[in-house]
Chains A and B, each alone.
Chain A
Amino acid sequence: MSNKVTYSSQENLITRQNNAEKAFLETFEKEEFTLDNPQLVVNPYLINPLCALVMFKTAEAVAPIITVKGKRNSREDISHTFPAATSHMLPVLGLYENFTNTIVISLPDGFSKDLTIKTGQLPLGVCRSLNIRTSMDYLQDNLMFMSPAGKNLPVAFDYKGDIRWMLTENTIFDIKRVANGNILTGSSRFAFMLYSTTGIIEMNLLGKVCKEFRLPGGYHHDQFEMDDGNVLVLTQDFHRGTVEDMCVLIDRKTGDILKTWDFKTFIPQDVGGSGSQDPRDWFHNNSVWYDKATHSIILAGRHQDAVVSINYDTSELNWIIGDPEGWPRDMVDKYFFTPVGDRKNFDWQYEQHAALVCPNGDIMCFDNGQYRSKNKDNYIKNRDNFSRGVRYRIDTEKMEIEQVWQYGKERGQEFYSPYIGSVEYYDEGHYMTHSGGIANQNGYAADLIGPLAAKADPLTEMRSITVEEKDGVVMYELESEGHFYRAEKLPLYHDGDNATFEPGQMLGKLDVTPEFDTVPDAVAVDEQPPASNGIVIEEDEDLIVFNATFEGGTLAMLCLEGKEKRHHYFINTSAIPYIAMCSGLFHETDDRIIKMKISKEGLKGKLAVKVIINEKKYDTGVAIFCP
């Protein structure tokens, strides 16, 4: 057989990190490392080249201070004091790229040790800051963390726009710090097209994945940590024909699903559609928030231009914020608000993202504004449109709504992000508005959303602008290359455990991939599939990802054949138009490329991978192993 199929098998990232951790901990135990001669591990968890671990022991319990020296002056130094101990395993965070960094470790008795760490150039394709306007006084020790919306990588910028943190793993969607100081974000592992990944990961800023919470329906867009540590996560049942219309509560310790909210049970699917709605992606839930004061869940549904509140226990609808056009009269009367106050400057939000509840019950969101109408005849062209952060005050007794703040309308098309973005509430009058998906063609806002515009015209300029405003004054503005789904301002170090050393865990479960019960006639041939099909099989511990290129109209089926059992999976070779692309992570510019995950859940033993392409069944020569 000639080599027409590419196969790769890699241990899961958690396994690789556990092995790496075990190795450096064993070295640490075996040898006598002192402050004068510490063990230094750069990029200890393999995916963050801008960090290190310094490890040493002291005779007495002491509280060491780590200082990463600033590039320009001592005010830029990043310092953290660790709890007193005799065995010290200290994370060094915030290294500059391609630079000889100086790290000072000092003890309370005045003894200190300088270390240098020379970092390399970051990978090509990392999106850089283009312009930044802020001050050290304002930003202090915070970085602006940016989660990618495409094949770019997560990064964090300091007050000068230097990248001080990054991952070489393409984690996705929301990035939030949780009570223990770790961050929750989307796993980078493929689950379903277009952008659902296997679940969420909890990681520290060294890049160590402490837990991956896998979900049968995968993860998309957002998650929210509850007071008890359990997490609301957005998901779906991918096999029932609709997507992005479910939320689950997962147990933080076990990954088990404790409760499920199915939006089909409380919102009609064929009403109030936004310009991007289709029957499959009818709601397009892109944010989740728990409001303790009202014991309700707030969900943003881009494809109904709606921010929806439901009762946590009963799933009953409380209210809907949005343009009421296109909704049934009885629902408008019962759930929708009437604008009051400054009606002249009031705007509804359209195709919004990242809805949140302010401490006083006001609702904020990023109003993308795509189409800015329910009625096709009134759709607004992107170059005439605007995006903004907006805050609404709602009176749920009178069912009245007042717009009390907005930022962005005045900037028009230059701040227009039709498909991604976020807002943050810090304090009264102190907000962030992140317009992460700006696309320009010939000086105007592109007619299509960025990834699609860039597919048609590679000269499309992709930008992200993040603004923080305090009492009406812009205190921070960052313009960067590329598209970023959300921005989150965080300091690198926190008061909890900045590094823990228990093995990372894979929790929860993937789905059992549905099989196809009819097998087409095909002649088994002792050949690999043609090279033009470009078959790539990626095997992970709990799944395989099958990648291939098929001309439209090809009959194709993936067959996993064991000694006792055969499994068949239909491959849809029809090009699917993706109009609501919140992340282009798995998107290919060639429509003929398909990507398909087969979970190992429910499979057993050694299985040969074969592919039916039209009338022939080819043997890829690859076998996978399912424990």
Chain B
Amino acid sequence: MIQEINTKEYDKMEKIGPMLVEFYSKKCGPCKMLSFVLRDIDKLKPDFKIFTIDFDENKDLKERLGVTGFPTMLFMKNGEEINRLQGLKQKPVIIKAVEEIE
């Protein structure tokens, strides 16, 4: 499941279990490419939660989470960041990070 959320929705949601939070920018080619990679991962792991957040429109949240660039992927479990990947990555790298928190 891939869902676009904003700061309010992020703060409000229950952060139970593993999930991936991706910060992207509409002005970023690698972010656009990553959206297709995440779509493929979603097909492989439809029960895994993926949230995407616009870096430019959620400044307070990205600062709170220490995100300085895009794309940045935060791998979280029960609300706690376990791992993060910065920049465009290919499927095997992301799947490995997902499986480490599942």
Interface residues of A (CB under 8 A from B): 516-521, 550, 552-557, 570-574, 614
Most chain B CB atoms below 10 A, which of A516, A518, A520, A555: A518
Instruction: Pick the residue among B25, B29, B90, B92 that contacts A555 (CB under 8 A).
Output: B29
Q: What number of residue pairs across chains A and B have CB atoms under 8 A from each other?
A: 44
Taking A518-B40, A570-B88, A573-B29 as given, write out 5 further A-B residue pairs in contact, using a Cβ cutoff of 8 Å, ordered by the A residue number: A520-B32, A553-B25, A572-B29, A572-B30, A574-B29
Contact mask for chain B residues 31-67; partner A; CB cutoff 8 A; 1 contact, 0 none: 0110011001000000000000000000000000000
Q: Which residues of B contact A518 (CB under 8 A)?
A: 33, 36-37, 40, 90-91
Task: Known A518-B37, A518-B40; judge A555-B32 contact (CB<8 A).
Answer: yes
Tell yes or no: B82 within 8 A of A by CB.
no
Residues of A within 8 A of B88 (CB): 570, 572
Q: Cβ of B36 and Cβ of A554 under 8 Å apart? A: no
Contact of B28 among A520, A550, A553, A614 (CB under 8 A): A553
Closest A residue, CB atoms, query B35: A520
Cα separation A573 to B30 with both chains bound (whole Å): 8
Asked if B96 is at the interface (CB within 8 A of a chain A CB), the reply is: no
For B29, what are the chain A residues with a Cβ–Cβ distance below 8 Å?
A: 550, 552-556, 571-574
Question: Cα distance A556–B31 when bound, in Å?
Answer: 11
Residues of B within 8 A of A (CB-CB), count: 15
Instruction: List, in ascending order, chain A residues with CB within 8 A of B26's CB.
Output: 553
Q: Does B27 contact A553, Cβ atoms closer than 8 Å?
A: yes
Residue ID in chain A nearest B70 by CB atoms? A574
Contacts of B33 in A (CB 8 A): 516, 518, 520, 555, 557, 570
A-B contact pairs, 21 of them (CB 8 A): A516-B90, A517-B90, A517-B92, A518-B33, A518-B37, A552-B27, A552-B28, A552-B29, A553-B25, A553-B26, A553-B27, A553-B28, A553-B32, A554-B29, A555-B33, A556-B29, A570-B30, A570-B88, A572-B30, A574-B29, A614-B32
> What is the distance, in angstroms, from A409's C-beta to the closest C-beta of chain B?
38
Chain A residues contacting B36 (CB-CB under 8 Å) are: 518-521
Which B residue sits closest to A614, measured CB to CB?
B32
Closest-CB distance, A537 to chain B (whole angstroms): 20
Q: Give B26 Cβ to nearest chain A Cβ, in Å.
A: 7
Proximity string of chain B (58-102) to chain A, C-beta cutoff 8 Å, 1 when within and 0 when not: 000000000000000000000000000000101110000000000
Report which residue of A521, A552, A574 has the largest number of chain B beta carbons within 10 angstroms of its beta carbon: A574
Residues of B within 8 A of A614 (CB): 32
Q: What chain A residues lie within 8 Å of B92 (beta carbons)?
A: 517
Contacts of B37 in A (CB 8 A): 518
Given contacts A518-B36, A520-B36, A521-B36, contact A574 B91 (CB under 8 A): no
Q: Residues of B contacting A550 with CB < 8 Å?
A: 29
Distance, CA A518 to CA B95, complexed state (A)? 13
Measured CA separation A552–B25 after assembly (Å): 11
CB distance from B69 to the nearest CB of A (A): 10
Q: Interface on chain A toward B: helix, strand, loop, or mixed SS?
A: loop
Chain B residues contacting A517 (CB-CB under 8 Å) are: 90-92
Residues of B within 8 A of A516 (CB): 33, 90
Which residues in B have their C-beta under 8 angstroms from that of A574?
A: 28-30
Nearest residue, chain A, Cβ from B90:
A517
B5 to chain A, nearest CB (A): 22
Residues of A within 8 A of B28 (CB): 552-553, 574
What chain B residues lie within 8 Å of A573 (beta carbons)? 29
A555 proximity list for chain B (CB < 8 A): 29, 32-33
Instruction: Chain A residues near B30: list those with CB within 8 A.
Output: 570, 572, 574
In the bound complex, CA of A573 to CA of B91 (Å): 20
Q: How far is the CB of A475 from chain B (nearest CB, A)?
A: 51
Complex: chain B residue closest to A279, CB-CB: B86
Q: What CA separation (Å) do A521 and B28 show in the bound complex?
A: 17
Residue of A nearest to B88 (CB): A570
A217 → B minimal CB distance (Å): 19
Report how far A574 CA is from B26 CA in the complex, Å: 12
Q: Which of A552, A555, A557 has the most CB of B within 10 A?
A: A555
Please give me the 5 A-B residue pairs with the lowest Cβ-Cβ distance, nearest first: A573-B29, A555-B32, A553-B27, A520-B36, A518-B37
CA distance A574 to B28 in the complex (A): 7
**Residue on A with the closest CB to B32?**
A555
In the complex formed, the residue of B with least CB distance to A612 is B33
Binary A-proximity of B4-30 (CB < 8 A = 1, otherwise 0): 000000000000000000000111111
Return the chain B residue nearest A521 by Cβ. Answer: B36
Query: How far is the CB of B82 from the nearest CB of chain A, in Å?
Result: 20
Residues of chain B lying within 8 A (CB to CB) of residue A554: 29
User: In the complex, what's the smallest C-beta–C-beta distance from A321 to chain B, in angstroms?
Assistant: 33
Among residues of A, the one whose C-beta sits closest to the C-beta of B31 is A553
CA distance A557 to B29 in the complex (A): 10
Q: How far is the CA of A323 from the CA of B59 in the complex (A)?
A: 38
User: B81: shortest Cβ distance to chain A, in Å?
Assistant: 19
Query: A570 to chain B: which residues have CB within 8 Å?
Result: 30, 33, 88
Distance of A555 Cα from B35 Cα, bound (Å) = 11
B43 to chain A, nearest CB (A): 11
Determine how close the nearest CB of chain B comes to the CB of A614; give it in whole angstroms: 8
From A573, which residue of chain B is reached at the shortest CB distance? B29
With both chains docked as a complex, state the minimum distance between the C-beta of B101 and any C-beta of chain A, in angstroms: 21
Q: Min CB distance, B73 to chain A, in Å? A: 15
**CB-based nearest A residue for B29:** A573
Q: What is the bound-complex CA distance between A269 and B10, given in angstroms? A: 35
Q: How far is the CA of A517 from the CA of B93 in the complex (A)?
A: 12
Name which residue of chain A comes closest to B38, CB basis.
A518
User: A575: shortest Cβ distance to chain B, in Å?
Assistant: 10
Q: Which residue of A lies closest to B40 (CB)?
A: A518
Interfacial chain B residues near A519, Cβ < 8 Å: 36
| Distance, CA A552 to CA B32, complexed state (A) | 12
Minimum Cβ distance to chain B for residue A203 (Å): 39
- Interface hub of B29, B30, B33, B90 (most chain A Cβ within 10 A): B29
A593–chain B nearest beta-carbon distance, Å:
14
Chain A contacts of B27 at CB under 8 A? Answer: 552-553
- Determine how close the nearest CB of chain A comes to the CB of B30; give it in whole angstroms: 6
Interchain CA distance A155-B95 in the complex, whole Å: 52
Q: How far is the CB of A408 from chain B (nearest CB, A)?
A: 38
The residues of A that contact B40 with a CB separation of less than 8 Å are 518
Residues of B within 8 A of A520 (CB): 32-33, 36
A591 to chain B, nearest CB (A): 13
**How many Å lie between the Cα of A574 and that of B25 in the bound state?**
11
